[in-house]
Structure formats: structure tokens, C-alpha cells
Amino acid sequence: MEAAITKLKAEMDGKGTNTYIKLIGEFLIKHIQANPGSVDQILSADKTIAKSLLAMQAEAKKKAVGGMAMLTDEEGFSIVLNYFGLSGGVTAVTPAPEEQKTVRFDVKLDDFL
């Protein structure tokens, strides 16, 4: 697993300004941590994060209307998983929303008098 994470991090660090490569890389790291059997597909020499973005672009072009196309997070991550030949649910590895903390504000009118 460490070799796959190292490969992903090397590509994430090598592309400096491309935040999408970093985002997909973090997603894939979480995926292989949750699914250790996916390591071999990630280690495939011909598969890269950058090429998975091209796969997403190609799929988005198929949906284009008036020269504009959009993918949901789930659609995009699913395309990345398919590109790497991986299975598994996208929702299982996406971050859970943070819990909101309730702040109690307890003041009485007598406190101000």
C-alpha cells in the first residue's frame, strides 16, 4: 500500500499548481486505505491521476450542451475509479460533513441592568 501512496503523492507534488490532481490524489489515497485490494490497479505504470482527469473530460464532453458540461462529484469520482479499474462506492470514501456545534447563548435581562 505504501508504494501506491508514494506513487500518488509523487504525482500530486509534481504538479504543484493543479489542485484537481491533488483532490483526486487524496480521494484515491482514501480509497486504497479503505480498499487495500485496489493497490495493484493504482500501481499500474500506464495509469496516472492526470490521465484520469482526461477521462473525466471526455465523459463531460459527451454530456455537453451548448459547449458547457458539468459532472457531479459522484460522477467524477466514479469515472476516476472506472479509469483505474477499481470498484467500490464513491460515497463510502468521500468525507462526511462536519458536525455543526450548537452554541448556547444564555442571557437574562437582569444581567444588563
The string of pLDDT tens digits covering residues 38-64 is 899 999 999 999 999 999 999 999 989
Look at residue 90 in the predicted model and tell me its pLDDT: 66
The span from the CA of 24 to the CA of 6, in Å, is 14
Look at residue 110 in the predicted model and tell me its pLDDT: 78
Look at residue 93 in the predicted model and tell me its pLDDT: 45
Look at residue 92 in the predicted model and tell me its pLDDT: 44
The span from the CA of 72 to the CA of 17, in Å, is 23
What pLDDT, in 10s, does the model give residues 69-100? 999 999 999 999 999 998 766 654 444 455 56
The span from the CA of 47 to the CA of 49, in Å, is 7
Using a cut of 0.85, tell me whether the model's pTM lies above it: no
The residue with greater pLDDT, 111 or 20, is: 20
Look at residue 25 in the predicted model and tell me its pLDDT: 94
Look at residue 16 in the predicted model and tell me its pLDDT: 62
- CB count in 10 Å sphere of residue 76: 22
Task: Name, in order, each residue with C-beta under 8 angstroms of 49's C-beta and a sequence gap of 6 or more.
Answer: 8, 11, 12, 15, 21, 24, 25, 28
What pLDDT, in 10s, does the model give residues 13-32? 986 668 899 999 999 999 99
The span from the CA of 79 to the CA of 97, in Å, is 22
